Amino acid sequence: MIIIAGTVDVDPARRDAALEAGCPHMEATRAQQGCIDYVWSADLLVPGRIYVFERWASEEDLRAHFEGPHYLAMRNTMASYGLVGADVLKYRMAVSEPVYDNTGTPRADFFTA
């Protein structure tokens, strides 16, 4: 699994409009093969900040997204709303487990046997 996570900063006065304009691109991307999650959402404490969270089934699926129209449309939409900066990273996941164990206790450690 591939995770994309980070922040995009736009003109604070235009952030909500940028997210609204991005909704069709989010919806179209979610329909792409291998897209598990694709969410761009406002940080309610930092003006102009948008959090990006994506999960992709494979590198091939992510590559297809980057080469397709929805990636470019979202990128261009955000740029048109006063893009200030971006800090977005990709992660390849080797291990994942639930946060809560079978007793309902949140665990920071990995308890894979």
Longest dimension (CA), the chain: 50
Using a cut of 0.75, tell me whether the model's pTM lies above it.
yes
Q: Using the predicted structure, report yes or no on whether residue 111 has a pLDDT greater than 80.
A: no
Among residues 84, 7, 74, which one has the least CA distance to residue 35? 74
Count the helix, strand and coil residues of the chain and give each as a percent rounded to the nearest 5: 35, 30, 35
Across 69-94, average pLDDT:
95
Q: What is the pLDDT of residues 1-12, one digit of tens each?
A: 999 999 999 999
Tens of pLDDT along 13-66?
A: 999 999 999 999 999 999 999 999 999 999 999 999 999 999 999 999 999 999
Q: What is the pLDDT of residue 95?
A: 85
Domains and CATH numbers, the chain: 2-92 (3.30.70.100)
